[in-house]
Amino acid sequence: MNTPLRIGMTGGIGSGKSAAAHYFAHLGATIIDSDQIAHQLTTSGGLAIPAIRQHFGTDYLTTNGSLDRQRMRERIFQDHVAKRTLEAILHPLIRAACWQQAQESAAAPYQIWVIPLLYEHPDWQENLDRILVIDCDEETQIHRVMQRSQLTREAVEQILRQQAKRIDRLSIANDVIVNIGDFAALQQQVDALHQLYLNRTPQNHHRL
Ligand SMILES: CC(C)(COP(=O)(O)OP(=O)(O)OC[C@H]1O[C@@H](n2cnc3c(N)ncnc32)[C@H](O)[C@@H]1O)[C@@H](O)C(=O)NCCC(=O)NCCS
Ligand SMILES: Nc1ncnc2c1ncn2[C@@H]1O[C@H](COP(=O)(O)OP(=O)(O)OP(=O)(O)O)[C@@H](O)[C@H]1O
């Protein structure tokens, strides 16, 4: 059986990764979503909970034993050491779970790996055939995240400062979706990339 084409999708907070992934899935792609996996690992009984309890204490767990996401978010985006500690706990587990999901869905024509920190952690780029960046201006990101959640402008800006710059992320892209219009404009770009990915295989395209 051929290995499916693996596309790493990345983009800053609120750029539209989930919206694009949702539509790729509708077209038949397999989606491997590192944010979703991180959520599963940190629900009650999740694989990452014992290490989080050990390093951060029970203060960062809710009464039902899952990660207190708000509290952890407030901590890590103003404490670099805590951020690195949480990433050191979660990233190896996320990667293992991504690979497991990828193997379980090997029959799909191509896979979209949603990895927000693909630029910040280049080792994630290994074994990917292409990189797709969901691009949009920071002001749009801020508005979208504020609309979607209870976060203040300052809180979103603080997260943005911890993430790669737009221009750096674009420097690793093979493909770019500019998500500054409406959902129809986003879907049109996904449709075009869907055709491109169906016509590519890992055997006839190498990223490097
Ligand atoms: C800090 C946490 C608990 C906040 O949870 P919350 O539900 O508020 O956010 P959610 O998980 O939906 O993430 C939303 C976005 O935040 C940004 N983000 C998350 N983690 C990080 C990080 N370590 N560095 C920079 N940005 C991050 C991404 O843009 C992500 O898409 C959570 O994001 C987390 O566990 N982060 C560490 C895991 C990680 O590094 N994930 C990225 C996988 S590549
Ligand atoms: N083209 C668009 N038009 C209107 N709203 C959009 C568009 N793209 C995304 N959105 C909305 O903006 C918000 C952020 O989008 P989405 O959740 O897809 O971003 P994300 O990159 O996955 O974010 P995060 O990094 O936080 O996981 C969502 O509420 C989504 O519905």
Residue 8 annotated in ligand binding: no
Over the stretch 34-44, which tens digit does the pLDDT of each residue have? 999 999 999 99
State the closest ligand 1 atom to the C-alpha of 83, by its place in the atom list counted from 1.
23
On whether both 58 and 140 belong to a single domain, the answer is no
On whether both 184 and 149 belong to a single domain, the answer is yes
Number of C-beta neighbours around residue 70 at 10 A: 12
Does 149 sit in the ligand 2 pocket, CB within 6 Å?
no
113, two tokens: 């790996």
Residue 35 CA, ligand 1 centroid: distance in Å: 7
State the closest ligand 1 atom to the C-alpha of 90, by its place in the atom list counted from 1.
38
pLDDT of residue 106: 64
Over the stretch 47-83, which tens digit does the pLDDT of each residue have? 999 999 999 999 999 999 999 999 999 999 999 999 9
Whether the per-residue pLDDT at 111 is higher than 80: the answer is yes
Which residues' Cβ are closer than 6 Å to ligand 1?
13, 34-35, 38, 67, 69, 72-73, 76, 83, 86-87, 90, 94, 115-117, 159, 162-163
State the closest ligand 2 atom to the C-alpha of 148, by its place in the atom list counted from 1.
29
Per-position DSSP letters for 65-118, written without gaps between them: SSB-HHHHHHHHTT-HHHHHHHHHHHHHHHHHHHHHHHHHTTTSSEEEEE-TTT
171, two tokens: 């420097």
- In the chain, pLDDT over 70 holds for what percent of residues? 95
Instruction: Work out the mean pLDDT of the chain and round it to a whole number.
Output: 93
Look up the pTM and report it: 0.94
Query: Among 107, 136, 153, which residue terminates a domain?
Result: 107
- In the chain, pLDDT over 90 holds for what percent of residues? 88
Residue 206 within any structural domain of the chain: no
Q: 34, 35, 113: which to mutate for ligand 1, most atoms within 8 A of CB?
A: 35
Does 15 sit in the ligand 2 pocket, CB within 6 Å?
yes
* Beta bridge mates, 114: 9, 33
E-strand spans in 115-180?
130-135, 175-178
* Beta bridge mates, 10: 133
Residue 20, domain CATH: 3.40.50.300
Q: Whose CA is nearest to atom 17 of ligand 2?
A: 18
Whether the per-residue pLDDT at 108 is higher than 90: the answer is no
On whether both 122 and 194 belong to a single domain, the answer is yes
Whether the per-residue pLDDT at 208 is higher than 90: the answer is no
Count of the separate structural domains present in the chain:
2
pLDDT of residue 104: 85
- Residue 44: domain span: 38-107
